[in-house]
Amino acid sequence: MNQALRFFFIGMGLVLARPRVLLLLVLVSLFMALPVAIPAWMSADTHLAHVSAYPGDAAPDFLHEVPGWLLDEWARADSNWRDLIRNGMAPALLLASLLGLLFAGGWMHSALHGRGEHGPAAFFRGGGSHFFPFVRTWLLGLPIFFGITWLIWSTPGEWVMGLFLPEGKPGMAASETTARFVEHGREILYVLMLLFTEAMLDVARADLVARDGRFSLWALLRAFLIMLRQPHVVMTLLGAGIILEGLWLVGIPAMVNGLHWPLWSLVLLIPLGRISMRGARWAGLALWISGRNHEPDQAAEKDGIPEVSDESEPPIMPTTQHGTTWVTDSVTPPANDTTN
What's the CA gap between 319 and 334, in Å, rounded? 15
pLDDT at 161: 82
pLDDT tens for each residue of the chain, 340 residues long: 678 889 999 999 999 999 999 999 999 998 888 888 888 888 877 777 666 655 656 666 665 666 677 777 777 777 777 777 888 888 888 999 999 999 999 999 999 987 778 889 999 999 999 999 999 999 999 999 999 999 999 888 888 888 877 766 776 667 777 778 888 888 999 999 999 999 999 999 999 999 988 899 999 999 999 999 998 899 998 889 899 999 999 999 888 888 888 888 888 999 999 999 999 999 999 999 998 877 654 433 433 333 333 333 344 444 444 444 344 344 444 455 444 4
Domain boundaries, the chain: 2-45+69-293
Distance CA 337, CA 218 (A): 58
* pLDDT for position 56: 58
CA distance 338 to 154: 90
What's residue 295's pLDDT? 64
Alpha helices (H) in the chain, listed in sequence order:
2-16, 19-32, 34-47, 68-77, 81-112, 120-129, 131-153, 155-164, 176-211, 216-229, 231-259, 263-302
- For position 254, what pLDDT does the model report? 87
Q: What pLDDT score was predicted for residue 135? A: 95
Supply the pLDDT for residue 293: 78
Neighbours of 126 (CB within 10 A): 23
**pLDDT at residue 48, as a whole number:** 72
pLDDT of residue 105: 94
Cα–Cα distance, 215 to 204 (Å, whole number): 10
Position 74 scores a pLDDT of 78
What is the pTM for the complete model shown?
0.77
131 contact partners, CB below 8 Å, separation of at least 6: 101, 102, 105
